[in-house]
Structure 1
Amino acid sequence: SLAQTIGTIVDILSGADGALQLYNQAVENWRDQLGHLVKLEEDIAAILRDREILVTRLIKVSKSSKTARDPRSSLVLSSGSTSFTSLPSTNSTSHGSSNTKLLKAQEQLRVCEAHLATKELELEALRVSIAREGLGARRRALIDCGWAWGEMGKEDLRALQRLNASSSDVPEPTSTLFSSHSHSPSTSIALPKQKPLPSSALPSRVSRGPISYSSDISSLTPSQSASQQHDGPSSFCIF
């Protein structure tokens, strides 16, 4: 029936919408993975900036440590009141502080580079995962959606064909039939053919064959003339 066909079509359209929603969900998941990739790239960019800062700091500490060692190595004993005994303690303290800063800067740079290497490996793995699994899942969802749409479209067409077939079996209204006959010039009402009247039904004066005068003359009596026979009993003969 028409109601069942409409219900079937509604279910088919709902199923097509569900298949499209599944594909949209796969696209959203892929976009989320791209968001994680962008965030990881931003983290690596920040680590690279920190690494540049640590490298600059290490260079400065190395220069200051070298400057602290040079005056002690270039000392020359001189005469007078100059006391050389007090220089080693001062220079050793300055040298120890420079070495501590240098070691600390080197350690910070080493930790930063190790963290950077870990993040770069994670970034490479995430890129491969997105290219292989993320795009693969999206393509599979697209294939499933296309297949579902194709099958549901075929079922929709079959439902419409069944509806057309059922509607063609319904007879046309009576008024339509009458109107089609009244407006059709080639249609006419067939009347029954009239049979020829039997010879007994024809008047006695009408004959179906050629007129025979001999029969009429022989039927006259001696006391009647032809005019008397046709005029009736009220006529009379004059001698």
Structure 2
Amino acid sequence: MSQNDGFICSMISSKNQDTQAFTDNATGTLQQLGQLEMPKTESNFHSIIIVGQIEGHLVLPPQNKTTKYEHIIPQLVAIEQNPKIKGLLVILNTVGGDVEAGLAIAEMIVSMTKPTVSLVLGGGHSIGVPIAVASDHSFIAETATMTIHPIRLTGLVIGVPQTYEYLDKMQDRVIKFVIEHSNIDEESFRELMFSTGKLARDIGTVLVGFDAVKSGLIDEVGGIGAAVKKLDDMIKNR
């Protein structure tokens, strides 16, 4: 075999390997996500998804879909420090979860210096409410819901006055945060939280889309298009 023949064979072999690697990568993406890999495009903002149950200091069972606060907080720190990232989009579809973990995430978002927009899809229940209102501007889908209810304790509860005082203080932290970062007043929020007769086996209120905006809890009804446009405008006008 001549030197040229060997060079041509080497090129064909290398091309075949590259083609095989691309095919394997596309197949892996298809198996994991059910679709081919999306083309990569430059974006000046970052999105964080909060889904399922917000996990706190206790590890939840493996069958639960969870968002771990120890994963979210480092991402928020990185976003704040990265000069290439100009804004943050927070997308929520959560049933709530650990109060302190949820408040920690909310406090991180509200203290960021970059523009932030939140979008509630499906549901932003319980401790998901403070996270939703922590952004500079909040959206909720027309069919999305938000459940507002008192704080609960799980596990052993000691029936002494101090336990109820502790619960009351924790509840005040949540209420104070929500009214400071939304357009709802304290009296209206407490009325929604302690309402009876609206939930079959619980105390509280379910707000759907426009109801959340009408109450002053959320700024606007809209979807992903409106949220991205709002964030782009905030970044440009910063």
TM-score, reference length from structure 1: 0.21
| Greater Rg over alpha carbons, structure | 1
TM-score, reference length from structure 2: 0.21
Decide which structure has greater helix share. Answer: 1
